[in-house]
Amino acid sequence: MKTTMTALTLVLTASPLLAGKAEVLTTYADIAQAGYEDSLMKARALNDAVDALLADPSAETLAAARSAWLEARVPYQQTEVYRFGNAIVDDWEGKVNAWPLDEGLIDYVDAAYGGATDENAYADLNVVASSSFTLSGETVDAAQITPALLEETLHEADAVEANVATGYHAIEFLLWGQDLNGTAPGAGERPWSDYAEGQACTNGNCDRRGDYLKAATELLVSDLEWMTAQWAEGGAARDTLMADEDAGIVAMLTGMGSLSYGEQAGERMKLGVMLNDPEEEHDCFSDNTHNSHYYDGLGIRNVYFGEYVRIDGSTVSGESLSSLVAAADPAVDNALRADLNATMIELGQIKAAAEAGFAYDQMLERGNDAGEALILSAVDALVTQTRGIERAVTALGLDQIAFEGSDSLDAPNAVFQ
Amino acid sequence: MRHLSLVACLAALLAGPATAGTDDALDRHVLPAMETFAEETADLSRTAAAGCGAEALRPAYHAAFDAWMGISHLRFGPLETGGRALAIGFWPDTRGFVARSVNGLLQDADPVVSDPEGFAEVSVAGRGLFALERLLFEGDEVLADDSYACAYIRAVATDLARTGQALQADWSDHAALMRSAGEDGNTVYLSPREAEQALYTALITGLEFTGDQRLGRPLGTFDRPRPTRAEARRSGRSLRNVGLSLEALRGLARSLSDVPIPQTEAAFADALSVAEGLDDPVLADPAGRLKVEILQQRVELVKTAVAAEIGAALGLSTGFNATDGD
């Protein structure tokens, strides 16, 4: 009898559920718009801080620019969950947040960095020191370091993804420099005098380094302006999302699941532990990885709970994916909410330890059991929540819909002709 | 098509706990393949203990690598625990970690190689089949049994054998977990469908990996082929790995389906025959590029057939997998 009742309830609630999807998607798009707009405002503040650094290089102005970068990461990381479900974001984000990078492409590096590799012939190109060079057989005039040079010529040069010339991590490298402390405490220690004028300039080419930093920061601002517009009313990202409600909900869940499992749990966290390599931390120059992971996790939670706290403390919220799943299967919703909260506790513990002085790269050291346990328990929590996300997909009946969108099912015989 | 899918879905529901696919996949595919991997890595370890001559070690390395191709697609449960898949076969290695780790240990003559427990903590890039490949195919042909490199080779072989044994043991527990999917107390697989979905996801992901990575990485683009990115090119196994992985995936597909799968069978046979017709062991011959591209397309068609024939029939879709993301 109970089963019949449940089935009946499902049938009866079928149409209100359909109506709810549009509102859930609106909340999702509103959070995206607010997140990118917050990221844009923080990038503009970073741009101002870079201007101040270049106008009057000093330890203080460099420190202020670093602070602005750290603040800028908080809203941006919360938008990463939008990547995997939305093609328009995924196609764009490489310019803004590509990682890992062979930083020798950009500026001087320590001798231990090594030179070109099997995979990347330009791993030690050092654009800051080279006003002209050969790239994939063509001579490049780099006398002027401009946003166009970075974006059109250097970024992913030679089709190598590790040639990251733009975005947050290129800027991070220019502000902090390489972290040469290995798995010992400490972040990158680039001296402010790397931007000094005349005799005070350290490591050479300070003016070109400053030009690079300025160009990269300007690009970040313009890229974020563009993405913010895509999520506004009438923007391409919002319109695409709203065009097909079921596909939109699938996009939300795909973004959550792909970031949770393959990207964050796997590529960014577990791999670092398995390699014991301090460069395998996401924000490796600044030692900000604990925050990077934390705000990635929070972004996933934001999408499900339909709630985002902006940089001014105000809240964007609305009908949530959680309520949609609860209407279909309360047990699945309860479990997933609990999973997402459990992940935030695990990521919070990493953040707490790191802020108390046990940096993320120290956690990666070979044989560091405490660090490994901290990271792997967060990995486990992310994997667990991924299973919960899959159950939400099933509960909403969306796995079949995703199926029907593929060629193989729409035209099963076509592919064998 | 919507109606047909719905019918398939209802049929699956009405059939109740249909674990035939899971049982068969475990008994006919997963467990035998794990046993083979455990045996071959144990044999590799014994061979290394007897001496470090390349003549004896290379065949044992190849046999262990062959066995790895039989299980490398089963990236869930025991193979994911503790990063075992990475510790056995760290590839693709996009940033040269294997070279750096192996050379680092060699240069430092790191004493960790004489301590199996400590060696299990070494970077995955310095362990497993790809580290061994560097040691056996790039170093000296003749290694003294008391050399550091020989001690390192033995440590890698011992570590692989230990992992093989642990995998086999853990899989007997994990198989029980999959068979009891949906029963009270099973918090991993809440329904028989979830166990089937895990196997099905492994099948689809494995096909994608072989197509996009094993074939796609060395192909690169027409203007910029990337022969140095072929899997296990130093030991000349790149194409062999493609064939073996397809055979393993065919075994999984066959065992997962309760009914005949003629389209899938035809697609696998087609892909395997293209692979056999290739005379390009490391996928580096510019003249053979077109054939490699054809092979890649054939693998894609296998995936399409599997989705239509097995996925749709079982009402299964692909879950999230470890290679989602960048």
pLDDT in tens, A97-115: 998 899 999 999 998 887 7
Position B324 scores a pLDDT of 64
Q: Mean pLDDT over all residues of chain A? A: 89
What does the pLDDT read at residue B323? Answer: 65
- For residue A5, tell me if it sits in a domain: no
Q: Do A119 and B6 touch (CB under 8 A)?
A: no
Q: Which of A88 and A400 is assigned the larger pLDDT?
A: A88
Examine the pLDDT at A129 and tell me if it is beyond 80: yes
In angstroms, rounded to a whole number, what is the distance separating the alpha carbons of residues A293 and A343? 11
Q: How much is the pLDDT for A183? A: 82
Confidence tier at A417 by pLDDT (50, 70, 90) = very low
Domain annotation covers residue A10: no
| Domain count for chain A | 1
Q: What's the pLDDT score for residue B276?
A: 96
Q: B264 to each of A131, B28, B252, B270, B318, how far by Cα in Å?
A: 56, 18, 12, 10, 17
Provide the ipTM. 0.83
Q: What is the pLDDT of residues B108-157, one digit of tens each?
A: 999 999 999 999 999 999 999 999 999 999 877 678 889 999 999 999 99
Contact A412 B83 (CB under 8 A): no
Query: Do the domain assignments include residue A294?
Result: yes
pLDDT grade for B326, boundaries at 50, 70 and 90: low
The distance of B48 to chain A (nearest Cα, Å) reads 25
**Could you give the angle at which helices B192-208 and B148-179 cross, rounded to 10 degrees?**
140
Asked if the structure places residue A15 within a domain, the reply is no
Residues 6 or more apart from A255 whose CB is under 8 A from it?
A81, A82, A83, A84, A85, A86, A303
* Structure confidence at residue A2 as a pLDDT band (50, 70, 90): very low
- The residues that bridge with A134 in the sheet, in sequence order, are A139
Domains of chain B and CATH, by start: 20-173 (1.20.1420.20), 191-314 (1.20.120)
| pLDDT band for position A411 (cuts 50, 70, 90) | very low
Angle between the N-to-C axes of helices B148-179 and B128-137, in degrees from 0 to 180, rounded to the nearest 10: 150
Q: Is the pLDDT of residue B10 over 60?
A: no
Mutate which of A363, A379, A399 to test chain B, going by most B C-beta atoms within 10 A?
A: A399
Q: Do B87 and A391 touch (CB under 8 A)?
A: no
A239-272 pLDDT tens trace: 999 999 999 999 999 999 999 998 899 888 998 8
Phi and psi, residue A317, nearest 5°: -150, 170
Q: Which one of B121, B125, B312 has the shortest CB-CB distance to A367?
A: B121
Per-residue pLDDT for B322 more than 80?
no
Nearest C-alpha in A relative to B264: A416
Whole-number Cα distances in Å, A243 to A90, A238, A288, B273: 18, 9, 38, 43
* Residues A403, B311: C-beta atoms closer than 8 Å: yes
What residues have CB less than 8 Å from B61, skipping those under 6 apart? B44, B129, B132, B133, B136, B235
Token pair for B135: 């040691």
Full DSSP string of B171-189: HHHHHHHHHTTTSTT--S-
For residue A210, give the nearest of A124, A284, A106 by alpha carbon: A106
| pTM: predicted TM-score of the whole model, two decimal places | 0.87
For B9, name the nearest residue in chain A, comparing CA atoms only.
A400
- Domain containing A203: what range? 20-403
A251 falls within a domain: yes
Say how far residue A251 (Cα) sits from the centre of its chain. 17
Residue A412 falls within a domain, yes or no?
no
Flag whether pLDDT at A204 surpasses 60: yes
In-domain check, residue A287: yes
Helix, strand, coil share (%) of chain A residues, nearest 5: 70, 5, 30
Percentage with pLDDT > 90 across chain A: 77
**Nearest beta carbon to residue B96 from set A118, A412, A416:** A118
Give the pLDDT of residue A181. Answer: 86
Residues in chain B within 8 Å Cβ distance of A118: 96, 99, 228-229
Label residue B19 by pLDDT band (50, 70, 90). low
* Cβ within 8 Å of residue B131, ≥6 positions away: B90, B98, B101, B102, B125, B156
Residues B124 and A276: their CA atoms lie apart, in Å, by 8
CB burial of residue B266 (10 Å; 0-12, 13-18, 19+): middle
CB nearest B320 (choices: A258, A267, A407)? A258
Closest CA to B11 of B319, B317, B312, B318: B312
Task: Measure the CA angle with vertex A217, ends A212 and A221; round to 5°.
Answer: 150
From A397-411, B65-79, B268-282, the region with the lowest mean pLDDT: A397-411
The CATH number of residue A62's host domain is 1.20.1420.20
Pick among B100, B231, B320 to test the A interface (most A CBs inside 10 A): B320
Task: Using a pLDDT cut of 90, give the percent of chain B over it.
Answer: 79
Question: Cβ–Cβ contacts within 10 Å for residue A83, how many?
Answer: 24
More confident residue, B324 or B60: B60
Amino acid occupying residue A181? N
The partner residue sitting opposite A408, judged by closest CB among B307, B323, B325, is B307
Of residues B319 and B24, more confidently modeled? B24
Buried b (16+ CB within 10 A) or exposed e, A397-406: ebbbbbbeee
When pLDDT is cut at 50, 70 and 90, the band that residue A315 belongs to is very high
pLDDT at A53: 98
Q: Is the pLDDT of residue A347 over 70?
A: yes
Position A283 scores a pLDDT of 84
Establish if A353 belongs to a structural domain. yes
* Nearest Cα to Cα of residue B204 among B135, B294, B87, B305: B305
